């Protein structure tokens, strides 16, 4: 039997009730950089950890009988074998000191697909974490929602169907319609691959998902979106359909947790770095949707010629983020680099909600004034 561990549950839902600090991290793996990230993050004493996909990278460690650090990297032409499941155990033991004391909520990334015998996928991911799927009306562990005080978190699956006719989209419509913004004013969405990233790595890879879902999330006034996948940090301005919009969400890519692969460095807007369009679709995410821009500064082109207007800050450094929601109006977002001291800030911004200027579905509407005779 293990030791007995204790953790503090999340605060009850309410417009003045919030976890003190929420740590956001993505693409962790189990490397020297992972150790630095987790140590740094733990020193910030989070009350909740949000892991935005790519947990262990166990799919890169195959049951092949070699001691290669990354078998599929070193021997790419060898037939695929079963992924090395003990890697999940190593990761779990490493994370125990943190997650035995702090709740962790996880959404799947592409490295959790883990194709195995019998055409099974996502087996380790679905078996090793607890998901409030049934409680949130979901039929799947790949998408669900939960409340943390006055924040409603929506966790979406990018590697299963997200079409408007599919179960996930219909669940999302129902979940958003049921959110009471007088109780949970903040609406935060999370999935693995970003819609807004200016790095050449995975550039516009999730465009089909954006085309299907962005308008729905916008119509309900989502405040912040967190993603991983791109191994760097990037924060957007408020944006909708590639256009600056004061009512759009802030998109934050936080895929800089550690990973096993290299850091993303090149930007698609730099000369010679724009990907060939046909190379951008992900085989697990559907067809090709990223065509040339039809309007704005990048009209007629697949990539921008400068840092896009939607990109506010970007940097290729390992780190983690801390979200501190203060009340129903404003929150403080801070990104910390691994190489910095704990009290040094890599990027910081106040995120302010303005529901009076940005009405959304489900928002109480003012009663019409009666004309006097």
Show which residues are catalytic: 202
Of 77, 94, 75, 74, the C-alpha closest to 86 is 94
Q: Are 223 and 354 in contact (CB under 8 A)?
A: no
What sign does the CA torsion over 96, 100, 103, 105 have? Answer: positive
Residue 342, CA distances (Å) to 74, 339, 350 in order: 36, 9, 19
Residue identified by tokens 């074998």 is 81
Any idea what the Cα angle at residue 362 is, between residues 206 and 210, rounded to 5°?
Answer: 5
Q: Are 21 and 188 in contact (CB under 8 A)?
A: no
What sign does the CA torsion over 255, 261, 267, 273 have? Answer: negative
Alpha carbon of residue 341 to chain centroid:
25
Q: What DSSP string describes 153-189?
A: EEE--SSS--STTSHHHHHHHHHHHT--TTT--EEEE
Largest CA distance in the chain: 89
Q: Which helix (H) or strand (E) holds 74?
A: helix 71-74
Q: Is 22 helix (H, G, I), strand (E, B) or coil?
A: strand
Phi, psi (degrees; rounded to nearest 5) at 167: -65, -40
Of 163, 226, 221, the C-alpha closest to 194 is 226
| Cα–Cα distance for residue pair 21/16, rounded to 1 Å | 14
């Amino acid at each position: 039997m293990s030791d007995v561990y204790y953790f503090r549950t999340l605060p009850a839902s309410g417009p003045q009730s919030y976890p003190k600090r929420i740590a956001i991290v993505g693409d962790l793996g189990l490397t020297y950089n992972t150790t630095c990230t987790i140590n740094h993050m733990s020193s910030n004493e989070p009350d909740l950890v949000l892991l935005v996909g790519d947990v262990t990278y166990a799919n890169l460690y195959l049951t092949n009988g070699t001691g290669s650090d990354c078998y599929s990297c070193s021997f790419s032409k060898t037939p695929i074998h079963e992924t090395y499941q003990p890697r999940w155990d190593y990761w779990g033991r490493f994370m125990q000191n943190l997650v035995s004391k702090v709740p962790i909520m996880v959404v799947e990334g592409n490295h959790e697909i883990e194709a195995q015998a019998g055409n099974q996928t996502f087996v380790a991911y679905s078996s090793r974490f607890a998901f409030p799927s049934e409680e949130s009306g979901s039929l799947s562990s790949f998408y669900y929602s939960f409340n943390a005080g006055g924040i409603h978190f929506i966790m979406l699956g990018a590697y299963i169907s997200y079409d408007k006719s599919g179960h996930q989209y219909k669940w999302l419509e129902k979940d958003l319609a049921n959110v009471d913004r007088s109780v949970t004013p903040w609406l935060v969405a999370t999935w693995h691959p970003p819609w807004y990233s200016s790095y050449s790595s995975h550039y516009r890879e999730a465009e089909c998902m954006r085309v299907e879902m962005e308008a729905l999330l916008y119509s309900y006034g989502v405040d912040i979106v967190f993603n991983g996948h791109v191994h760097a940090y990037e924060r957007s301005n408020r944006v909708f359909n590639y256009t600056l919009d004061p009512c759009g969400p802030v998109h934050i890519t936080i895929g800089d947790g550690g990973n096993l692969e290299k850091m993303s460095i090149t930007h698609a807007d730099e000369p010679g770095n724009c990907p060939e369009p046909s190379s951008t679709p992900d085989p697990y995410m559907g067809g090709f949707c990223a065509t040339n821009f039809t309007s704005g500064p990048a009209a007629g082109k697949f990539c921008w010629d400068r840092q896009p207007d939607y990109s506010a800050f970007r940097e290729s450094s390992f780190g983690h983020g801390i979200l501190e929601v203060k009340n129903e109006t404003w929150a403080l977002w801070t990104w910390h680099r691994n190489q910095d001291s704990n009290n040094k800030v890599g990027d910081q911004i106040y995120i302010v909600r303005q529901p009076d200027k940005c009405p959304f579905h489900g928002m109480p509407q003012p009663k019409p004034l009666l004309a006097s005779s």
